[in-house]
């Protein structure tokens, strides 16, 4: 059953407009003049340019409340769109808070996707779908692409499923339908490079795959996330009556984070606002950091052209950060061209300068930050103690997190990583949900495919192929196909009997789902139990297994909030977050992207090195555009800080196991000196390097020495030259490896008992030799057979 109730959404305005008209307006009291202007300008197009920390959400919610309170609009006449469920939730809460009552019937406050699901369910037939269509997750999408590629005999080593999916999604972000893309077949830029010459038989374009992908989706009665927008836009474009209807219904439109809209979302909004033009877009062009997934900064930059006569309000008074922090941030962002232009200011006292510190390597950086966090927690240099909850470490790329995790575990500093793999993305959760999906809708082939041999039932590629073929030949679902194949005796042995067990189980569970005397929670437990899925993890001896069982329990617990399995699945397909938080205070570690919208009294920004931040890949792939987005990311990072912002970089860093040296980020040069204090790194003055002892080996040309000497001129030419010199000189690896790699073709003789080293398994002793294969007893990894060329002799003292 869908959670969406039409009547509720459109008809039952629970708050009478007239009854509200004369109410007082306390929500206007706490607003500054600009915020107030943005709230009061209810009619016509409004662009609210809201800088970081300028009370954007406050103004936005006040605007909604004002619409309601003055009787200008009823709750169900307001379309309020956000990007994330979190933002939608917060807005809902704040509106209720301001209104002093729960918001009954604001059915159109939600994410783009959630709102589009509602719309598309109403008009599914106009998109060639049934209204109970399913929404695919990334796994399903890839499985689908893979099927198409295999059918087309595409060499998947050369062009991966991900590559195709990426392109398809890019098309969808730009609202380009398969028909349209396919029509340009062969002439367009989407032609697969080198395909014709490859001899794989696949000589066509991404457009062809896109077309087939859409065809399959329709056959499956399914959509992906991109489709939710694209289908609705297409319906609006081709059915004027439908569009008109919604233009009348949604009398007032509000959009949060407008700088993150993609072309499809932009078109969707323009269509809906075309008639009355009561659209209020809120955003900050300086915080557009999602270009790589289709966001178009151009949308916000063009607003006044799109909506002539638009009322533009700038929120520039910042309530979050100190002047030094704002000064540093605006210094950096001023390097970008084509901004709408904003200057943040604050009434806050001067505060501390942004601190800048360079380190010898990434480990020292982590060590220093760990110490600093502890010191701040204790309260140092006249500062009051800072709670760990109030500190955050914001990195450019998630692999930077490991250094901090390692260090914090060593010193026992509690931390939390935000934005890791989310609950519903974990393998065991997806498996379990795939079971639920097949039980609730037996036609869900993708889900069936996922679980048919999970846990292992002896149904490998061959058996699965038979099922596929049988299903296709008879035009039935995979479950049905499996039944037919078994009946025809095509799947024999253990696999056959296991398959029968599975099919019978599915049928039985489906019946239970309809039975009134079994709760869906019991049903879920029965499914997981009888399918053998729980047992599979109980028998698993790997260290993750207990955690996975724990997660499954949590999943079952989460079911309690829903009436039935369908309701749960519907919810999960749209809401994929899970932030259960317990325990004491912790430092947060997260990416800069994940930090957008958050704020912390103390922020650390490590890894400001050219190539890492700004990311080389961004610059290579998107040139100046890429660099500008990176710069906005820097701006976002700095403006997360309320009181103390510490930027750091390391001269050397281990990347994919290799040591690499780099120059300080070009963004460091862009920090205005008057807002920055350069700290002296600890390493030079004893102690810092500990056992590594490389301070002696690499004394003078260390960038740190220069850093200390040039405390006031870190961006001087001298500093630059020195950095360039340091990076040209290959740094010797700080931690010496003591095993020597020996060319085995040259040496070719191994002896039993000899000590060797293997990349993956570590150290071990040879206990057997067969031709070019060695049997090695590894110290940590046990006894393995390895090819001789993969081990090297170790000159460690044999034990």
Partner DNA sequence: CTACAACCAGTTTTT
Partner DNA sequence: CTGGTTGTAG
Catalytic residues: 56-57, 256-257, 287, 640
397 contacts DNA (rule: CB under 7 A): yes
Give the tokens for residue 450. Answer: 């996922």
143 contacts DNA (rule: CB under 7 A): no
221 contacts DNA (rule: CB under 7 A): no
Interactions with DNA, residue window 302-321 (CB under 7 A): none
Residue reference for tokens 């309809």: 514
Least CB distance from residue 507 to DNA, whole Å?
23
Among 187, 244, 456, 738, which residue interacts with DNA (rule: CB under 7 A)? 456
Give the tokens for residue 191. Answer: 């032609």
795 contacts DNA (rule: CB under 7 A): no
Listed in order, strand segments (DSSP E) in 557-617 are: 587-591, 600-605
733 contacts DNA (rule: CB under 7 A): no
Residue span 327-366 as binding mask against DNA, x where in contact by CB under 7 A, dash where not: ----------------------------------------
388 contacts DNA (rule: CB under 7 A): no
Give the three-state DSSP class for 486: helix
Q: Which stretch binds DNA (CB under 7 A): 108-116, 269-277, 341-349, 543-551?
A: 108-116
293 contacts DNA (rule: CB under 7 A): yes
799 contacts DNA (rule: CB under 7 A): no
Give the three-state DSSP class for 308: coil
Long-range contacts, 497-505 (Cβ 8 Å, 24+): 498/457, 498/458, 498/459, 499/452, 499/457, 499/459, 499/463, 502/452, 502/457, 502/531, 503/479, 505/530, 505/531
83 contacts DNA (rule: CB under 7 A): yes
How far is it, in rounded angstroms, from Cα 214 to Cα 216?
A: 5
Residues 6 or more apart whose Cβ sits within 8 Å of residue 121: 2, 4, 131, 132, 133
How far is it, in rounded angstroms, from Cα 604 to Cα 649?
A: 11
How far is it, in rounded angstroms, from Cα 41 to Cα 69?
A: 14
For DNA, the closer of residues 141 and 278 by Cβ is 141
Residue span 476-495 as binding mask against DNA, x where in contact by CB under 7 A, dash where not: -------------------x
Sign of CA dihedral 427, 430, 436, 439: negative
531 contacts DNA (rule: CB under 7 A): no
Interactions with DNA, residue window 570-609 (CB under 7 A): 574-577, 590-591, 593-594
Sign of CA dihedral 138, 141, 147, 149: negative
Interactions with DNA, residue window 493-522 (CB under 7 A): 495
463 contacts DNA (rule: CB under 7 A): yes
50 contacts DNA (rule: CB under 7 A): no
The answer to whether 660 and 733 are in contact (CB under 8 A) is: no
Least CB distance from residue 750 to DNA, whole Å?
14
86 contacts DNA (rule: CB under 7 A): yes
Q: Which stretch binds DNA (CB under 7 A): 248-256, 368-376, 568-576, 723-731?
A: 568-576
Give the three-state DSSP class for 564: coil
Among 180, 492, 557, 785, which residue interacts with DNA (rule: CB under 7 A)? 785
241 contacts DNA (rule: CB under 7 A): no
157 contacts DNA (rule: CB under 7 A): yes
Distances (CA, A) of 383 to 323, 371, 380, 394, 588: 18, 15, 5, 22, 20
Q: Which stretch binds DNA (CB under 7 A): 119-127, 176-184, 460-468, 697-705?
A: 460-468
Interactions with DNA, residue window 415-454 (CB under 7 A): 419, 422, 453
Helix axes 225-238, 161-173, angle to 10 degrees: 40
The answer to whether 403 and 365 are in contact (CB under 8 A) is: yes
188 contacts DNA (rule: CB under 7 A): no
Q: Which stretch binds DNA (CB under 7 A): 34-42, 79-87, 366-374, 708-716?
A: 79-87
Q: Which stretch binds DNA (CB under 7 A): 72-80, 456-464, 512-520, 690-698?
A: 456-464
Give the three-state DSSP class for 233: helix
With 0-12 CB in 10 A as exposed, 13-18 as middle and 19+ as buried, what is 468? middle
* Other CB atoms within 10 A of residue 8 CB: 13
Among 286, 609, 630, 706, which residue interacts with DNA (rule: CB under 7 A)? 630
Checking DSSP bridges between strand 791-793 and strand 755-758, what pairing results, if any? antiparallel
The answer to whether 237 and 271 are in contact (CB under 8 A) is: yes
For DNA, the closer of residues 307 and 424 by Cβ is 424
The answer to whether 53 and 318 are in contact (CB under 8 A) is: yes
How many residues touch DNA (CB under 7 A)? Answer: 54
Interactions with DNA, residue window 745-774 (CB under 7 A): 759-760
Phi (first) and psi of residue 46, to 5 degrees: -130, 135
621 contacts DNA (rule: CB under 7 A): yes
97 contacts DNA (rule: CB under 7 A): no
For DNA, the closer of residues 2 and 759 by Cβ is 759
For DNA, the closer of residues 280 and 590 by Cβ is 590
Give the tokens for residue 644. Answer: 């103390």
Looking from the CA of 594 toward its CB, the CA atoms found within 13 Å total 19
**Given the rule CB under 7 A, which residues bind DNA?**
83-86, 111-114, 138, 156-157, 225, 292-293, 396-399, 419, 422, 453, 456-463, 495, 574-577, 590-591, 593-594, 615, 617-618, 621-622, 626, 630, 656-657, 759-760, 784-787, 790
């Amino acid at each position: 059953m869908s959670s969406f109730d039409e009547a509720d959404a459109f008809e039952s305005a629970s708050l009478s407009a007239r009854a509200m008209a004369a109410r007082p307006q306390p929500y206007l009291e706490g607003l500054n003049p600009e915020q107030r202007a943005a709230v009061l300008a209810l009619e016509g197009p409004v662009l609210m340019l809201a800088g970081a920390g300028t009370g954007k959400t406050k103004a936005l919610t006040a605007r909604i409340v004002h619409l309601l309170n003055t009787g200008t609009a009823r709750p169900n006449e307001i379309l309020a769109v956000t990007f994330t469920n979190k933002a939608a939730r917060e807005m809902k809460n704040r509106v209720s808070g301001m209104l002093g009552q729960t918001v009954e019937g604001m059915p159109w406050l939600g994410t783009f996707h959630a709102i589009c699901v509602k719309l598309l369910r109403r008009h599914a037939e106009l998109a060639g779908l049934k209204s109970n269509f399913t929404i695919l997750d990334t796994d399903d999408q890839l499985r689908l692409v893979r099927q198409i590629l295999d059918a087309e005999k595409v060499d998947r080593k050369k062009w991966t499923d991900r590559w195709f999916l990426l392109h398809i999604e890019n098309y969808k972000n730009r609202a380009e339908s398969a028909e349209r893309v396919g029509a340009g077949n062969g002439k367009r830029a989407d032609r697969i490079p080198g395909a014709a010459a490859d001899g794989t038989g696949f000589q066509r374009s991404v457009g062809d795959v896109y077309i087939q992908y859409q065809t399959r989706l329709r056959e499956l009665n399914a959509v992906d996330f991109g489709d939710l927008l694209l289908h609705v836009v297409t319906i609006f474009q081709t059915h004027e009556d439908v569009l008109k209807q919604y233009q009348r219904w949604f009398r007032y439109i509000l959009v949060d984070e407008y700088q993150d809209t993609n072309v499809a979302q932009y078109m969707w909004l323009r269509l809906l606002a075309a008639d009355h033009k009561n659209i209020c877009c809120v955003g900050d062009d300086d915080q557009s950091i999602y270009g790589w997934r289709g966001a178009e900064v151009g949308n916000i930059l063009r607003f006044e052209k799109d909506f002539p006569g638009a009322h533009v309000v700038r929120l520039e008074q910042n309530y979050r950060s100190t002047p030094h922090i704002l000064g540093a941030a605006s210094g950096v962002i001023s390097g970008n061209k084509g901004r709408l232009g904003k200057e943040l200011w604050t009434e806050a006292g001067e505060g501390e300068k942004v601190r800048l510190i360079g380190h010898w390597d990434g480990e020292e950086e982590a060590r220093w930050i760990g110490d600093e966090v502890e010191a701040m927690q204790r309260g140092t240099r006249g500062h009051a103690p800072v709670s760990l909850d109030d500190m955050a470490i914001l990195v450019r790329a998630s692999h930077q997190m490991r250094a901090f995790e390692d260090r914090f575990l060593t010193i026992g500093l509690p931390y939390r990583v935000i934005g890791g793999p989310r609950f519903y993305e974990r393998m065991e959760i997806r498996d379990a949900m795939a079971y639920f999906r097949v039980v609730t809708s037996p036609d869900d082939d993708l889900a069936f495919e996922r679980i048919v041999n999970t846990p292992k039932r002896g149904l490998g590629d061959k058996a699965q192929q038979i099922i596929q073929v049988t299903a296709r030949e008879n035009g039935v679902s995979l479950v049905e196909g499996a039944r037919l194949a078994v009946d025809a005796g095509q799947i024999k042995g253990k696999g056959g009997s296991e398959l029968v067990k599975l099919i019978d189980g599915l049928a039985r569970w489906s019946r239970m789902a309809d039975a009134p005397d079994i709760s869906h929670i019991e049903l879920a437990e029965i499914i997981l139990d009888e399918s053998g899925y729980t047992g599979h993890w109980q028998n698993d001896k790997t260290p993750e297994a207990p955690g996975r069982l724990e997660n499954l329990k949590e999943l079952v617990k989460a079911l309690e909030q829903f009436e039935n399995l369908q309701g749960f699945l519907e919810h999960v397909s749209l809401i994929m977050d899970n932030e259960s938080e317990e325990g004491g205070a912790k430092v947060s570690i997260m990416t800069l992207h994940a930090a957008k919208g958050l704020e912390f009294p103390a922020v650390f920004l490590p890894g400001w090195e050219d190539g890492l931040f700004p990311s080389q890949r961004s610059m290579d792939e998107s040139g100046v555009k890429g660099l500008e987005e990176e710069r906005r990311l820097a701006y976002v990072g700095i403006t997360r800080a309320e009181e103390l912002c510490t930027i750091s970089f390391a001269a050397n860093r281990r990347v994919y196991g290799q040591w690499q040296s780099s120059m300080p980020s070009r963004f460091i040069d862009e920090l205005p000196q008057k807002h920055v204090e350069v700290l002296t790194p600890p390493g030079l003055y004893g102690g810092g390097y500990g056992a590594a002892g490389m301070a002696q080996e690499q004394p003078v040309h260390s960038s740190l020495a220069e850093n200390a000497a040039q405390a006031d001129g870190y961006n001087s030419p001298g500093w630059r030259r020195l950095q360039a010199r340091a990076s040209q000189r290959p740094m010797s690896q700080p931690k010496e490896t003591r095993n020597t790699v020996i060319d085995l073709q040259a040496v070719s003789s191994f002896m039993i008992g000899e000590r060797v080293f293997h990349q993956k398994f570590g150290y071990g002793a040879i206990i057997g030799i067969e031709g070019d294969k060695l049997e090695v007893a590894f110290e940590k990894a046990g006894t393995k057979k390895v090819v001789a060329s993969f081990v090297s002799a170790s000159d460690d003292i044999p034990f």
